Structure 1
Amino acid sequence: MSIEMVAKRPLLQDDGGRGLYSTDDEDEEELFTQPPSKGQHALKEKVTITTHVKLLTAFASIGQFLFGYDTGVISGSMLFIRKQFGLGDVWQEAIVSATIVAAALFAFIGGPVSDWIGRRLTAVGAGLLFTLGSVVLGTASGPPVILAGRVIVGCGLGLTSMCLPMYLSECAPAKVRGRLLLISCTFGCSGMLCANIVDGFFSYKKTNGWRYMLGIASMPSVIMVVGFLLLPESPRWLVKAGKLERARYVLEKLRAPEEVENELSAIRKICDEDNVKKLEAGKFVLLRILRHASTRRALLIGCGLQMFQQLAAINTVMCDTESNSAVCGIRVGSGVFSGRYSVPSNQ
């Protein structure tokens, strides 16, 4: 089964008040005129999205949701962990930051790992790390075990941030690739929102509420693992691995029948060009990027945006909101429904 989504084709020419459009057909280019309506600059074109692409988008969205949830959930749970175990500032800082440090390190190795074992198995590995880390956190007996669980979850975050956008972009049709990636990334923010809601919901349990906050993430992570085990590998990775027939079989599930051969030929051409560039400039991708002005500028812009995002202290907001609120004199209430926070009368 498939659904049809709408993509817009650009206006080619405006001739005397008449709009000239192209259907962008593979075999022939049909040009025709029609009176332009107010604000109309494009022709709607049908794009087929197969069931496998929809499922891949859904499971990738679960991975992004877990990224946001496991990043933000520590904000509320840390208040109860600190009180129950009598933690000092050093332990609190270590538990909060361990996930971010592990995520940064595994983001670096996520690319080589996905090139080695494939995008799908890397996503499965990330889901398993999420599950293991959530179980460890939910059953932790003390601060060292909590720290270990946070490191495990961070490893999953790093792999997810690298492999899931790559996996989805290589499998999604080019004309809707951006929209599907946007849908997936939106779930990262939804995960942060859900983490704060869950923190508030379990805040009435003073002793073990934090276990539910941290351990509940194991449920969507299991769904993620099962889902990716049932999905096919990226066709581009299969072509790079020399598995052309398998790549054709996967494309038959991801594309309309008339698009399979053209897509396979395009992927083969790109992979051949990539192999030539590796021979000319070496295997290190960063060195190849720095050799060309256009890619250097793109890298500078991307890294600059990330730098300013981090300098804005967004991680402090996500990970330490409740702790900072407590320092300001706002104390935890009896639960989300009765008012999560209350301000002392002398403040």
Structure 2
Amino acid sequence: MAPMLPRPPIFVNTSTQACELVTDLLIFDEDLTLMRRSRQAREPVMPAATPATTHNPPDARARSRRTFLLYLCGAFGGLLSGYDMGIVAGAQLFLTRDLGLSSWMQGAFVSSLMIGAIAGCFGAGPATDRWGRRPVMLATAVLFGAGALGMALATGPWTLIAFRVATGVGVGAASAVIPSYLSELAPTRIRGRVSTLNQMMIAIGIFVSYLTSYALSGAGAWRWMLGLAVVPAVVLFVGMWPQPETPRWLVTKGREDEARTVLLRLHKPAEAEAALRDIHAAAQTERHSRGRVRELFATRQVRRGLGIAVAMAVIQQVIGSNTIVFYAPTILKAAGFEDSAALLNSVGLGILSICTTFVTGRLVDRVGRKPLLLTGLVLMVISMSTLCAVFSLGLLDQTAGKVAAVASLAVFKVAYSLSWAPLLWVMLPELFPLRVRSVGVSVGSGTNWAANFAVSLVFPTLLAAGAGAAFALFSGVCVLAFAFTAVYIRETAGRSLEALERAAS
């Protein structure tokens, strides 16, 4: 008798609770900020306190809650991207057996997501300029859902790969449009914090995929693993349906009244009018632009932004995160976690990534983007160099070597999640003026996926050289990335997108 499949609510409850936790943390943090500003604005002599003067007004709290629901819905596509990237590891073992995949077909199945993502990135730019950010995000939800159902019902390898490519197109489009959507909606003072939600949702999606694989692996239910992605796809579509378009896109289309309505939802009236004037002024200087790829090379300002975006996209993939993921089980098993090494690697490091990304959101607008990027690289050089020494000198069988290796593993994960993992998506929209923001972010995101694909191709060859050589190479890459960041990357925190555009011109 065939084993009974676990019920789908395992995934639904986990993802819903994770999203509710993120929402509650963000709302609580915003409430504290509002209360702090309220106290600072009081006169030295005040009348006796009343409930109305000691607490946030109900309308302010309601607006805060609605605003963060908007941000959460805008970032929710990241959860789907993370889930689709992570679930393949658990599903591949069982579908390979059931569908009789050759080793070549297994590789095609895994890499097909990245191929689709590259196409989705470059297609998303013109689409978002023409139809808007919100419609493209709704389209990605449809692609996610169709791809999940198609893979779950696939009867052969080519059908499976075809729907995996379709899912990849959704992943790529989401990675290109979500950063712009969040960045263009968020007020300047919290733009970095809001933009880090994208990476946090990706981390949550990967974490949920690990839990789902663990729950369904006993039954070998790979169709459920892949098909359950339709649930968050529906949530994304339903959640995004009532959400607004970004005011910056609306202004470029001459719909200023709608833009004003959106800004009043996010800002106080005076701030909304000031923001609308800035956006209108920027749009007027670019009214003849059509957001084509060739316009990325039209001026020195835009070419510089493009060069930095492409470099940052490549750096995020080549600073060694894949090497850490590959060697993590070896390090953990050597440290004594024989039976739980895989679980600790996936669940433990996944939780660490989510928590660190939340901390990044708290710091990115206060400390700035550039200090976090540089600090992350310093910590990654230290951890990579330590791992190089441990593996090269054969210290992994000694207590000191085990401790150093596990500590370096955790330090790298924290450093990467604190800096380059989330901040690439924070900064990509900040590097381009409004007229080419969509296409610029699409090129940067597409470059990131292309670099990911290239690293996956050369990674087996690199591993053949040995762990010590691999860690030494990536340590050197981090040093070069530090020099590039220190010289070429400018701070963008605390300035509106329009102010950044004026400063660069």
**TM, length-normalised to structure 1:** 0.72
Aligned to 1:304, which of 301, 311, 314? 311
- What is the aligned partner in structure 2 of residue 325 from structure 1? none
Question: Helix, strand or coil for the counterpart of 2:101?
Answer: coil
Counterpart for residue 240 of structure 2? 228
Q: For the Cα contact (< 8 Å) 1:75–1:318, is it kept in 2?
A: no
Structure 1 regions of 5+ residues with no counterpart?
8-22, 26-46, 323-331, 341-347
What corresponds to 1:284 in structure 2?
292
1:108 is paired with a residue of what secondary structure?
helix
> In 1, Cα distance between the equivalents of 2:280 and 2:128?
19
> Does structure 1 residue 146 correspond to structure 2 residue 154?
no
| Matched residue SS, 1:82 | helix
In the TM superposition, residue 283 of structure 1 has moved relative to its aligned partner by: 5.0
Contact 1:129 1:153 in 2 (8 A): yes
Q: Is the 8 A contact 1:50 1:253 kept in 2?
A: no
Contact 2:144/2:167, CA 8 A, preserved across alignment: yes
CA contact (8 A) 2:126 2:291 kept: no
Aligned counterpart, 1:214: 226
1:195 aligns with 2:209: yes
Amino acid at match of 1:238: L
Output the CA distance in 1 between the equivalents of 2:128 and 2:32. Answer: 30
Aligned residue for 2:33? Answer: 6
Larger of the two Rg values belongs to structure? 1
Q: Deviations over 1:2-52 (max 9, x none)?
A: 954639xxxxxxxxxxxxxxx9x9xxxxxxxxxxxxxxxxxxxxx997444
Going by fraction, where is strand more abundant, 1 or 2?
1
Query: Following TM superposition, by how much is the alpha carbon of 1:73 offset from its aligned partner in structure 2, in angstroms?
Result: 1.0
* C-alpha distance in 2 between matches for 1:196 and 1:241: 43
Deviation track 1:235-267 (CA, whole Å, cap 9, x = no partner) reads 111111111112112222222223221111111
Matched-pair identity in %: 31
Note if 1:86 corresponds to 2:86. no
Q: How far has the Cα of 1:295 moved from its partner?
A: 4.6
Q: Do 1:131 and 1:218's aligned partners in 2 also have CA atoms closer than 8 Å?
A: yes
Deviations 1:247-297 (A, max 9, x none): 112222222223221111111011112236x3xxx85355445631x5544
On the 8 A contact 2:296/2:306 being kept in 1, the answer is no
Q: Give the drift of 1:154.
A: 0.7
Q: Point out the more displaced range, 120-129 or 190-199.
A: 190-199
CA shift, 1:104, in A, is 0.6
Q: 1:58-92 CA distances to partner (integer Å, 9 max, x unpaired)?
A: 11232111111101111121111111111101211
- Paired residue for 2:186? 172
Give the aligned partner of residue 143 of structure 2.
129
Change (3 A) 1:227 1:257: same
Equivalent-residue separation in structure 1 for 2:287 and 2:65 (angstroms): 32
Gaps of 5+ in 2: 1-26, 35-39, 42-59, 330-338, 348-505
Conserved in 2, the CA contact under 8 Å of 1:56 and 1:168?
no
Aligned positions of 1:1-347 closer than 5 A? 4=31, 6=33, 50-206=64-220, 209-275=221-287, 278=289, 284-285=292-293, 287-289=295-297, 291-292=299-300, 295-311=302-318
* 1: CA distance, partners of 2:134 / 2:291: 23
**Matched length:** 283
**Are the counterparts in 2 of residues 170 and 234 from structure 1 also a CA contact under 8 Å?**
yes
Which whole-Å deviations, capped at 9, do the CAs of 1:281-335 have from their partners, x for residues lacking one? x85355445631x55444333322322333457568879x99xxxxxxxxx99x9
Q: Is the 8 A contact 1:56 1:231 kept in 2?
A: yes
How many Å separate the matches in 2 of 1:52 and 1:116? 27
Secondary structure, aligned partner of 2:33 = strand
| Partner Cα separation in structure 1 for residue 325 and residue 116 of structure 2 | 17
Residue 286 of structure 2: SS of its match in structure 1? helix
CA–CA separation in structure 1 for the residues paired with 2:83 and 2:158? 22
Tell me whether 61-70 or 300-309 shows the greater mean CA deviation: 300-309
Q: Which residue type is aligned with residue 284 of structure 1?
A: R
Change beyond 3 A, Cα 1:297–1:247: closer
CA distance in 2, matches of 1:235, 1:128: 24
SS in 1 for 2:251: helix
CA distance in 2, matches of 1:77, 1:220: 18
Distance 1:318 1:194, change over 3 A: farther
Q: CA offsets, 1:164-202, max 9 Å, x none?
A: 111111111111011011123211122112212211221
